[in-house]
Chain A
């Protein structure tokens, strides 16, 4: 833990360093948007007062990360499950006021914002109530269980002008940001396909202390609360695909099934989908729960190269020739007969001897932390980052349309009303 803390401190330094390089700035509007204003309008001593709603597995992680962010006070915590409620109190050393009911918390506390990490079906109403209470909101992905709820959240965000940031942490990940920068610079050419997958080998089931808690604890397995693999996993990766292709899909087709875990789970245990974009590009997606060999990846493929951000790799389509060979080929083309300079000492090639691509960017696994830094910064300034919410929205809509395609066995077109225009 000590080590973690130290690392995190370094990350902050690292962040401010990266954020000050101009190349980086252009691709991460949400980090530099307020770079100037931050110092001007907001006193450094200003502290941000946050409440956390839903301190389960993810909520705990967010809380621990927030405790490492400067100028943040976690003044309230809320959870309606006793063990987690007690744990939240402990985690904050009793400094935060604890609540079972978030509405009481919104009533009583003077907060700048809330962080919501409740199960999916408990995102929409808590988010909307918080926004209407004048608070900024960080809400875990995916946005909501239904399309209408996603839309209502978006509308309330717009109406109140309060921040609504959705927890797709890859949006703050230096590897992804650097990769995006390189895509914009043309390094992998024109992207024509993103192939993404998330494969695991487990059933998602959590142990339940007593039977009546089954649905509360294993909410991911029930359709009423969750869209399964789509909202839990695909959401992150469709966000990446949309972001890199820089478009909203036009339609989706797919098929899902329960092929392995026959244990009363309602959501699919494997899914396969195709998302089409208007320029002929597509995202091919699949997720599996009975084999983890291939793990997870978003393979971003262009005519000049490939990016695999999960493993931090970029590959070129053409491998550079040995300099002597380059010269030889030029000479043959021109009909010139000349010495071929390829023999001699061990001319160690500079490029990796096995072509495993190149690392995209140095990175310590801390994007969840970085996104909290980003949220706190936005709260301080009091304004949402341009186009950040848009990413979370389109991903959340996209996974639910994908579910619809699978459930109804139909090709689903992306409805106009679920498109947010880019802000300029």
Chain B
């Protein structure tokens, strides 16, 4: 078989590792392209990170209730997208749950968190405590203490942004991988018609549960199971059902193939939280989307369901 040139590089940004693979691209051009991707991600991080005190998102998070606030174009864009997601999911997808997430994060020892504690955290959460004036591009908090956390959507947003960067550079075929949970597969593999993205078994890394055929699309995964490169695995309580204030505890994951990774992140997270009968409303609004649901019953037994919308 013929040998193929391929440029690849990896770097860290937005709290994750970013791998870029550019088949048929020489080193000089490849370096330039990766630099552009990196710059874009660093810019996004400066905008979206709530851990950077000077970021527009942090500025909003510090603001008092009542006053009308302006923010950067990028932040405005992502917030309004998230607000749409919040509405179509009937409040299930919510980027203001930091107090609940933090509460459960402290629960590593597995202690039962009393209901009143959950109630207190829940009381300061809720995207409905934010009002948007779409005309004037401004927003305000209707109560104190509301904070935005874009951790669940930022990587998807970055993937969609990077797609634009690559297309601008006339790159036709590429893989961009953000921490294995958000993947852009542009064009096709040099030796195939698409990019076969393998969704692995969380408890047996060498085994695929499903292979998505991806062409100019993205694959995003949300889940409670995690597995490190050194094979440490477990369940993380980081996906919260805003209605109950409690985390999803069963070992499961949802992977979504879609045009937009921002949408993919939203759908994957929402799919995990939503009960069966509620998914219908949502699925009626989706086009050209595949979702793969994996529920692990034990380390060796799992159930899957593929839905093509």
Contact = CB atoms under 8 A, between A and B. Distances in A.
- Are A and B a genuine interacting pair, yes or no? yes
Interface of A: 319-325, 328-329, 332-355
A335 B3 contact: yes
Contact of B236 (A346, A353, A355): A346
9 contacts: A322-B17, A332-B23, A341-B205, A344-B223, A345-B200, A345-B221, A346-B180, A349-B179, A355-B11
Interface of B: 1-6, 8, 10-13, 15-17, 19, 21, 23, 175, 177, 179-181, 183, 189-192, 195-202, 205-206, 208-209, 211-212, 219, 221-223, 225-230, 233, 236, 253, 255
Contacts of A320: 10
A347 B192 CA distance: 26
Nearest to B6: A332
B196 A343 contact: no
Contacts of A353: 12, 15-17, 179
A341 B221 CA distance: 13
A340 B179 CA distance: 14
B267 to A, nearest CB: 15
A339 to B, nearest CB: 4
A319 B17 contact: yes
Contact of B21 (A325, A334, A336): A325
A345 B5 CA distance: 30
Nearest to A323: B229
Contacts of A341: 198, 200, 205-206, 208
Contact of A344 (B2, B21, B180, B196): B180
B25 to A, nearest CB: 11
Contacts of B195: 340
Nearest to A324: B180
A353 to B, nearest CB: 5
Contact of A347 (B11, B23, B219, B227): B227
Contact of B198 (A325, A329, A339, A345): A339
Given A321-B8, A336-B191, A339-B208, A346 B221 contact: yes
A95 B19 CA distance: 66
Contact of B229 (A319, A336, A347): A347
Given A324-B180, A328-B21, A345 B223 contact: yes
Contacts, number: 154
Task: Name, among B5, B189, B192, B202, the residue most crowded by chain A CB atoms within 10 Å (CB to CB).
Answer: B189
Chain B residues touching A, majority SS: strand
Given A325-B21, A333-B3, A342-B183, A348 B227 contact: yes
B12 A354 contact: yes
A347 B181 contact: yes
B234 to A, nearest CB: 10
B17 A334 contact: no
A325 B177 contact: yes
B23 to A, nearest CB: 5
Given A343-B198, A350-B230, 9 more contacts: A322-B19, A322-B180, A325-B8, A332-B4, A339-B196, A344-B221, A345-B221, A345-B233, A345-B253
Given A329-B21, A355-B11, A343 B212 contact: yes
Contacts of A345: 200, 202, 221, 223, 225-227, 233, 253
Contact of A337 (B189, B206, B222): B189
Contacts of B206: 341
B149 to A, nearest CB: 16
A337 B3 CA distance: 12
B200 to A, nearest CB: 4
A354 to B, nearest CB: 5
B197 A340 contact: yes
Nearest to A347: B180
A302 to B, nearest CB: 19
Task: Name, among A320, A323, A340, the residue most crowded by chain B CB atoms within 10 Å (CB to CB).
Answer: A340
A341 B177 CA distance: 11
Contacts of A333: 3-6
A237 to B, nearest CB: 29
Contacts of A324: 177, 180, 198
A419 B281 CA distance: 82
A334 B229 contact: no
Contact of A340 (B175, B222, B228): B175
A316 B179 CA distance: 19
B17 A351 contact: yes
Contact of B177 (A335, A338, A342, A355): A342
A325 B16 CA distance: 15
B229 A350 contact: yes
A354 B17 CA distance: 8
A334 B189 CA distance: 12
B226 A347 contact: yes
Contacts of A342: 175, 177, 180, 183, 197-198
Contacts of B8: 321, 325, 329
A336 B23 CA distance: 13
When A and B form their complex, which 4 residue pairs have the shortest distance between CB atoms, in order from nearest? A335-B1, A355-B12, A345-B202, A337-B191
B199 A344 contact: yes
Contact of B1 (A336, A340, A346): A336
A321 B20 CA distance: 9
Contacts of B190: 332, 335
A343 B19 contact: no
Contacts of B199: 343-344
Contacts of A352: 12
Given A335-B2, A335-B191, A340 B198 contact: yes
Contacts of A346: 179-181, 221-223, 225-227, 236, 253
A263 B19 CA distance: 55
Contacts of A355: 11-12
Nearest to B17: A349
Given A344-B221, A352-B12, A355-B11, A335 B255 contact: no
A335 B4 contact: yes
B81 to A, nearest CB: 22
Nearest to B197: A343
A323 B11 CA distance: 14
A3 to B, nearest CB: 28
Contacts of B3: 333-335
A319 B1 contact: no
A346 B180 CA distance: 7
Contacts of B179: 322, 346-349, 353
A355 B17 CA distance: 8
A351 B190 CA distance: 30
Task: Name, among A329, A336, A343, A355, the residue most crowded by chain B CB atoms within 10 Å (CB to CB).
Answer: A343
Contacts of A344: 180, 198-202, 209, 221, 223, 227, 253, 255
